[in-house]
Amino acid sequence: MRGVVLLYILPAVLSISFKLPADGSRCIKEEAHKDVLVVGEFTVENIPSSHEVDIMVKDTKEQTLFSKEKAETGKFAFTLDDYDMFSICFHGKRVDGQGAGRSPPVDDLSVKLAVKRGIEAKSYNDLAKAEKLKPMELELKKLEDLAEAIVSDFAYMKSREKLMRDTNESTNSRVLWFSIFSMAVLLGLALWQVFYLKRFFKAKKLIE
């Protein structure tokens, strides 16, 4: 049994809880911009001794960003080389050597997942300690990162708008030339039909 949860409106922080079949899979799909830090933390509860849960994080190119077997709890972090979607999949499986049909059913497992992106994923407390930043300097650093994130988002939106505009213009141009070609073909067929019928009627001596 497999299921996919696809998130179209993406907040900076994703916190979700869901049920995972003990012998099935559940996947969360999300998007991230290029070079934006993505940090996740997960916990799987109520895992019986007869089962294990694996976690796998991949992008659309099937590149593994993070994986862990016997995953009860843990954290992961990664960045993408380009704007892309990534999937976080939890796989429940039986490990006691018995098939699912020969053993009593097991209740669904409870999964808690929190994913942070961008500035929300950064640990500013650790940064302040490492660089010995004062509270005001730390707030300015947060504002600087926020401004960079906003500028990056606007730049991405501008590039997408340009791409869509170029696609629309290219499509309009192709439709125009296709319409002209279609009209020329129809006109040519109409003229050919007129001349053909004229020769046919002359051959039958129906017209002079």
Q: How far apart are the C-alpha atoms of 137 and 128, rounded to whole Å? A: 9
pLDDT, the chain, mean: 82
Residue-level pLDDT at 185? 94
Query: Which of the two residues, 45 and 160, has the higher pLDDT score?
Result: 45
Phi and psi dihedrals of 25, rounded to 5? -135, 155
pLDDT in tens, 137-151: 777 877 887 787 778
pLDDT in tens, 30-64: 888 888 889 999 999 888 888 899 999 999 888 99
Residue-level pLDDT at 9? 38
The class that CATH gives domain 4-121 is mainly beta
Residue-level pLDDT at 119? 76
Q: Is residue 6 scored above 90 in pLDDT?
A: no
Q: How much is the average pLDDT of 187-192?
A: 93
pLDDT in tens, 74-116: 999 998 888 888 999 999 988 876 555 556 677 889 999 999 8
Q: Is residue 158 scored above 90 in pLDDT?
A: no
As a three-state string, the secondary structure of 103-159 is CCCCCCEEEEEEEEEHHHHCCHHHHHHHHCCCHHHHHHHHHHHHHHHHHHHHHHHHH
pLDDT in tens, 11-36: 566 788 999 998 889 998 988 888 88
Domain ranges, ordered by start, for the chain: 4-121
Residue 94: is it exposed, middle or buried by C-beta count within 10 angstroms (0-12/13-18/19+)? middle
Q: Is residue 192 scored above 90 in pLDDT?
A: yes
Percent above pLDDT 70 for the chain: 87
